[in-house]
Chains A and B, each alone.
Chain A
Amino acid sequence: GAVVSQHPSRVICKSGTSVKIECRSLDFQATTMFWYRQFPKQSLMLMATSNEGSKATYEQGVEKDKFLINHASLTLSTLTVTSAHPEDSSFYICSVVDGTGNQPQHFGDGTRLSIL
C-alpha cells in the first residue's frame, strides 16, 4: 500500500494565487521530508529539506519566502507556493524518510501545478 499521500494531485489556478500542497507519511513517523520540483523532460531537483519542529533547509537558488514549508507534525509537511506565477508551473513531489536507520525514501505521487 501507499506509504506517502500527497494532495492535491493537480491544481490549476490563476496567477497571483497561493497554493498549498500537503504531504502525509502514512506508515511511519517522518522526522524528515523532502520537497522536489520537476520541470518537463528534466530530472527531479531538490528544493528543500523539511524537519519536524524546525525551519526547513532550502537548496541554493530556492526562495524560502516564495516556497513556504511547514512540518508541524511527524506525519505532515506542507509546501505553499505563494503568489504563484506561470514560471512556477511544475510537478512538485514530496518524499519521506524514516531516520532510524538505512531505510529508503518513499515518494508521493506528485502534484501537477499549472498557473494560468
Chain B
Amino acid sequence: DAKTTQPPSMDCAEGRAANLPCNHSTISGNEYVYWYRQIHSQGPQYIIHGLKNNETNEMASLIITEDRKSSTLILPHATLRDTAVYYCIVRVATGANSKLTFGKGITLSVRP
C-alpha cells in the first residue's frame, strides 16, 4: 500500500521554482522521507532525504512540516532537464525493511 500521496502532475516555467508537495500522514517515527526522480528510460536518481529537519543540497531543498505529515521538494530554478517523474517515498533507514516502495509519483513538466 502506498504510504504517500502526490498530485499526478504539475508544470512550471523554466527558471522558476518548482514546489512539489507530498502527503505522508501515517509516517512512523523511524521513517525518513526520500525523494527520487526518473527521467524517461533511465533509472531513478536520488535527490534528497530527511527525517524531520529541513534539508538542502546542490539539487534541491526538502521542507518537512513540524508534524511530519507532509513535505515539499523545492527545485529552486527549474530547467528543461528537470522534466521527470518525481517520487516521494517513506522508508525505514536500514535493515530488512529498508526497501523502497514506489507510488505513481508526480510528473513535472518544465516549460520554456
Contact = CB atoms under 8 A, between A and B. Distances in A.
A112 B41 contact: yes
The SS class assigned to the B binding surface is loop
The SS class assigned to the A binding surface is strand
Contacts of B87: 43
Given A46-B100, A49-B99, A102-B94, A110 B41 contact: yes
Q: How large is the interface on B (under 10, 10 to 19, 20 to 34, 35 or more residues)?
A: 20 to 34
Contacts, number: 52
Interface string A88-116: 00010101010101101111111010000
B99 A34 contact: yes
A104 B102 CA distance: 14
A48 to B, nearest CB: 10
Interface residues of A, number: 25
B26 interface: no
Interface of B: 32, 34, 36, 38, 41-46, 49, 87, 93-94, 96, 98-105
Given A43-B103, A43-B104, A49-B99, 15 more contacts: A36-B102, A43-B87, A44-B38, A44-B44, A46-B100, A97-B98, A99-B94, A99-B98, A101-B93, A102-B32, A104-B49, A107-B46, A109-B42, A110-B42, A112-B41
